[in-house]
Amino acid sequence: MVNLRKGNPILRCVRLVLFILHGKIIYMAIVAPSLLAADFLRLERECKMLDDSEADWFHLDVMDGRFVPNISYGPMIIEFIRKTTRKPCDVHLMILEPEKFAEEFKKAGADHVTVHIEACPNLHRNIQQIKSLGMQAGVAINPHTPVTSLIDVLQDIDIVCLMSVNPGYGAQKFIPHSLSKISELRKLIDNWNLPVLIEVDGGVTLENAKDIVAAGADVLVAGNTVFKSKDPRATISQLRAIQTAKSL
| Cα gap 40→35, rounded to integer Å | 9
Which has the closest alpha carbon to 138: 120, 118, 113? 113
* Contact flag: residue 232 with ligand DX5 (CB under 6 A): no
Q: How large is the C-alpha radius of gyration of the chain? A: 17
First to last CA, the chain: 6
Per-residue binder mask for ligand DX5 (CB under 6 A), 107-136, x = binder: ------------------------------
Give 8's contacts (C-beta < 8 A, 6+ positions apart).
none
Per-residue binder mask for Zn ion (CB under 5 A), 80-119, x = binder: ------------x---------------------------
Chain residues 59-78 in contact with Zn ion, contact rule CB under 5 A: 61
Report yes or no: 114 and 159 within 8 Å, Cβ to Cβ.
yes
Does residue 211 carry a catalytic annotation?
A: no
- The footprint of Zn ion on this chain (CB under 5 A) covers a number of residues equal to 3
* Contact flag: residue 61 with ligand DX5 (CB under 6 A): yes
Specify the residue, 109 or 138, whose C-beta has the smaller distance to ligand DX5. 138
Report yes or no: 181 and 160 within 8 Å, Cβ to Cβ.
no
Per CB under 5 A, the list member of 46, 64, 199, 201 interacting with Zn ion is 201
Phi–psi pair at 81, nearest 5 degrees: -60, -40
- Using CB under 5 A, list all residues that contact Zn ion: 61, 92, 201
Q: Rule CB under 6 A: which residues touch ligand DX5?
A: 34, 36-37, 59, 61, 92, 94, 165, 167-172, 201-204, 221-225
